[in-house]
Structure 1
Amino acid sequence: MPNHVHMLVSIPPRISVSSFMGYLKGKSALMMFDKHANLKYKFGNRHFWAEGYYVSTVGLNEATIRKYIQD
């Protein structure tokens, strides 16, 4: 899947993962459309990001995840 993003983030416990992802995806889409106006025409009323997301919090340490993202 060539069109995807990997991120390593630390979210404060007071913020839910779903709230964080909603904000991140919403704000970044607005920024992309603002910076690259042609994307507005390509995507129209459709969302810039896919509906879902994948989160993993157990079983891997930060160094392993960081290496995976960098490679």
Structure 2
Amino acid sequence: MDNQSIQHTHWNCTYHIVFIPKYRRKIMYGETKRDLVEIIKKLCEMKQVQLIDGKICIDHVHMYVAIPPKMSVSEFMSYIKGKSTLMLFDRHPEYRTKYGDRHFWARGYYVATVGNVNEETVRKYIQEQEENDKIEDGRK
């Protein structure tokens, strides 16, 4: 990935981020999964964060993103998790009572910086997650 720029700053700040639903519930499949893909893409666009790659597995989300240096990773994650919960509850009102109002995602997340050296490793790992998820569930 080439360096990007904003005004007088050239940057290459890419991160591998993983986060889970509360209690690691196995609920992200079918319509919920499709809705979350759309919601996360839209929220990334709104914050001018480039979603380079990502997968939504049955009980966790992997994202490979480029976040501008003017925004912290924690600020971005608070935004993604907060807004995606509200948008998901708007589309699926039954989740509001089933999973607790405003408590769809667990509190923490995993983040690692990604340099140009291991970018392909991270991409391959994210792509393999969906296949591993299907094997664990017995689906093919």
TM-score tier after normalising by the smaller chain length = 0.7 to 0.9
- Structure 2 gaps of 5+ residues are 1-23, 25-57, 129-140
1:36 aligns with 2:92: yes
Q: 1:45 to 1:37 in 2, by over 3 A?
A: closer
After superposition, where does 1:18-57 map in structure 2 within 5 Å? 18-45=74-101, 47-57=103-113
Deviations 1:1-48 (A, max 9, x none): 751111111100010011000001011111110111110011123611
Paired residue for 1:61, among 98, 115, 118? 118
Q: State which structure, 1 or 2, has the greater radius of gyration over its C-alpha atoms.
A: 2
Matched residue SS, 1:6: strand
- Structure 1 gaps of 5+ residues are none
- TM-score normalised by the chain length of structure 2: 0.46
Structure number with the higher strand fraction is 2
- TM-score normalised by the chain length of structure 1: 0.86
In percent, how many aligned pairs have the same letter? 63
Aligned residues: 71
Q: Which has the higher contact order (CA 8 A, sep 6+)?
A: 1
